[in-house]
Structure 1
Amino acid sequence: MSKEAAADFEAHRPRLFSLAYRMLGSASEAEDVVQDTYLRWSTADHSAVRTPAAWLTKVMTNLCVNQLTSARAQRELYVGPWLPEPVLTHTGADRLGPLETAEQRESVSFALLSLMERLTPAERAVFVLREAFGHSHREVAEAVGIEEAHSRQLHRRARERLRHPRRDFDVDDAQHQKIVERFFAATFEGDVAGLEQLLADDVVVWADGGGQVTAARRPITGHENVLRYLLGLGSRPETARVRVEFAEVNGAPAAVVFAGQALLAIVVPEIREGRVDAVRTVINPDKLAFAAGQLA
């Protein structure tokens, strides 16, 4: 492969990774797909490629659709709730691309990536290309290998399946951060009154241990159930030995929990109307590996 062709690919690598991550919800799988795309590019007839960006997008989209098809069967056997792999953002080398607008942050949020598990692989590909990257339906159809009318149909179906209250991205970032910090302080201090005030009535907690680490196998729902669960966590002896730092994860304030120097968990609370209405915790070591690498 010529130096020019290699340089072309490297120029597109960040966009390809951020696209693959949104499609797959997995940073490690996204890296693998980007590498597979590179291998195909390295053996392609570059003189016949008019637009490298379109060629690379099409190849990678097809790889992602294939990966999603096999992943659907694997996730049916997954132990407990499945959550996306967390990615630290605003680290100086933002792997997920610009997250300056509410729409950009929504596209990588744990809430949306979790909901996208409802979609078929083709619906997910169309939705991401259209919503997160602003491709026209003609471009989407070409990338996915379908007719433009079918692209419109899949996009409409995906939007219907993903209808949900939008995250409160318009709240002041500093205020959002303060709510998250108050939530964790109340949990670790066993502050019943503080948690009662912070938790939404219909709050839900998910914990992804993947069968490797002890975690709730089902979502915990409702104000009282979640309150008891959090107070139980805060009262455990090992809680006193962990260290909590705050960071931006997938475009939102989150807690990064350490046991010594080892990354133990990443906890992403979702805030709506000033209260915590969802908490997603990743403690599966395999899913923390990418973030741990970012922190190294």
Structure 2
Amino acid sequence: MDIQEKLNAKYDNIAIYTSGFYADPEDELGTRSKLSETLKSFTMNQHADTPFSLQIMTTNGEINVMPLGLLSLDELKAYETKRREQAGLTTDDDAIPLVVQFAPHTEKGQIQKQIVGTTQNLFDNFNTHFAAIWTVVKADLQANQTLLVGIERDLISDSADIQREYQDNFKLMDAPTRKAKLGFDLKDTDLTHFSTFMADMHEIQAIVLSSAAFVKNELLGDDLFAQVMNDKVSRNTLFWVLDNTFYETLYYFIEKYRDIANGKKLTRHLHHQKKLLIINMRNDAYQRAQAAVEDATTKLDMDKYFSDIFVPIAEQLAREVDQFQN
């Protein structure tokens, strides 16, 4: 029986051991520790031939550590064919290759895979093999961070055009018209600052509505919000989306204003503010979710849910930027 037949036999009607966690883009040490603890626990409680998938959710994708062939036995067949071509037909090695896969959640993102030894290597020499796994995972995390920064820079580029549109429109208005539309006096000297703020909020709203659309299309569908919250996978996915939205909002301001005067101090300050902001965001999101669950007959407006949570956060971050600019 070759390796493909063995996996076919093992994966047929057998539960796959799964585990996962979210990778904070600002806590590489924490991610490494979680991955080590998860894999170590696996090796202590399972066998080397146990089918498993350990998932790391990131802001713009996911990383999986798993046996090659778990998702597609055709991959394992191709690997086995190539291995026999190189090593000869008489080779007799039934060790299962271990693969680290990074799947970007972007329109043109390409899945990246790298084989890192075998599952038996992980069981036989955990520390050495974990170091090899972490090297690949760390590179994938950096690739994910590059995606995040790229997305932010696209938004920032768009904000420049939006800012000019706002400023040009405000310039065409006289003072009474501005006050009638805005509800307050807007001086000519404040046009640039206010139109920049409006452009930033426009981009944040794009982030927020994109997240809300994902939840509506991929999680809610025709279901009520209470049904989503009662399903563990859907609930975890919702809070993963919330964390993603938070980081996309935070990094928008970090990337846009890192080069201003005192930009380095501002960046450090925003990183520091993040610790409290994300805790408050999660608490706010959870409380709003619980309130929605209590009314099991009403469909939750996800656009409003996400906007109510993240627009105040964006406004606070904008105030923090103002303090450093002034």
TM range (shorter): 0.3 to 0.5
TM-score normalized by the length of structure 2: 0.30
Counting strand residues as a fraction of each chain, which structure ranks higher? Answer: 1
TM-score normalized by the length of structure 1: 0.32
Counting helix residues as a fraction of each chain, which structure ranks higher? Answer: 2
